[in-house]
A = this chain, B = another copy of it.
Amino acid sequence: MTTNIRCRDTSWLGQANCKLCTLRRGALFAGLSDEVLDRLLMPVDQMVFGAKAVLYQEGEPAHHVFSIREGLVKLTQAAPNGSSRIVRFLSAGDAAGLEALSDGGYRHTAEAIAATQVCRIPAENLVEINRQYSPLFEELTRRWQDSLDRADEVITQLSTGTAQGRVARFLLNTLSSPEDNSCLALPREDMASLLSLTVETVSRTVAEFKRRDLLEEKRGLFYFDRAGLAHAATL
């Protein structure tokens, strides 16, 4: 009974009955009364993904949150050099695709490593429940997602590649807005700590950028050549 065309080895086990969920304690819907669950008529699907099957792809519109019942999933994200990096693993009890509660599509590609059983929950319904009940939901969600996006950016953009690449990506993306070609000139030590480099290496790299006229430092600010640094950022 394979329904998902995109992935081999993916099967649909029918709609879940959340009231009888064996994971009910500690499960996503643990707090919902039977009554509320009924009213929601939530079309939660139970699915199984085989090894190497893809739950969702980075960039595509995010309509579902996945609750992992069993198995192992890797989340990968495109890296600056064109390859992709694993940012973390998820297993039983974890949620995948929480970004479906925010805008901007899936942030990762989720791929099963071993056979994985999940409940697939339409994000719209989750948002609806929350909007209805919790006045803080949207703003809290945004902040959580922001932190997570930032953390993933450090993993994918700032802990990988050459010193030049990291420093360039840091200058371009971390402290500056896309319109503005300047940012606060942090102490070398702070840059080094974020980028997993030494103070000396950061200093050398910044000095080198200055020599190449990609960067200027005046009164505690960096002014930079976006195009030039963008090129260095691919290293």
Within 8 A of B (CB), among A156-188: 159-160, 174-175, 184, 186
Minimum C-beta distance from A44 to chain B (A): 14
Contact B88 A151 (CB under 8 A): yes
Q: Of the listed stretches A13-21, A28-36, A56-64, A226-234, name the one at the interface; the rest are far from the partner chain.
A: A28-36
Report chain B residues within 8 Å CB of A160.
159, 196
Report if A143-B85 is in contact (Cβ < 8 Å); known contacts: A113-B186, A136-B129, A190-B113.
Answer: no
Instruction: Tell whether A120 is near chain B: CB-to-CB under 8 Å.
Output: no
Given A160-B196, A174-B89, A194-B89, check contact A135 B32 (CB 8 Å): yes
Question: What's the nearest-Cβ distance from chain B to residue A152, in Å?
Answer: 6
CB distance from A177 to the nearest CB of B (A): 11
A126 CA / B88 CA spacing, docked (Å): 29
What's the number of copies of this chain in the assembled complex? Answer: 2
- A29 CB contacts on chain B under 8 angstroms: 136, 139
Q: Are B136 and A130 in contact (CB under 8 A)?
A: yes
A interface SS class: mixed
Instruction: Tell whether, in the assembled complex, residue B146 and residue A94 are in contact, meaning their CB atoms are under 8 Å apart.
Output: yes
Say yes or no: A159 contacts B155, CB within 8 Å.
yes
Check if A235 is an interface residue, CB within 8 A of chain B: no
Task: Find chain B residues with CB under 8 A from A136 CB.
Answer: 28-29, 31-32, 126, 129-130, 133-134
Query: Which residues of A does B touch, CB under 8 Å?
Result: 26-33, 36, 72, 74, 76, 84-89, 94-95, 98, 113-114, 126, 129-130, 133-140, 143-144, 146-148, 150-152, 154-155, 159-160, 174-175, 184, 186, 190, 193-194, 196
A-B contact pairs, 18 of them (CB 8 A): A28-B143, A33-B135, A85-B194, A86-B194, A88-B147, A88-B194, A89-B174, A89-B175, A98-B140, A113-B190, A129-B135, A133-B135, A134-B136, A144-B148, A151-B152, A151-B155, A159-B160, A159-B196
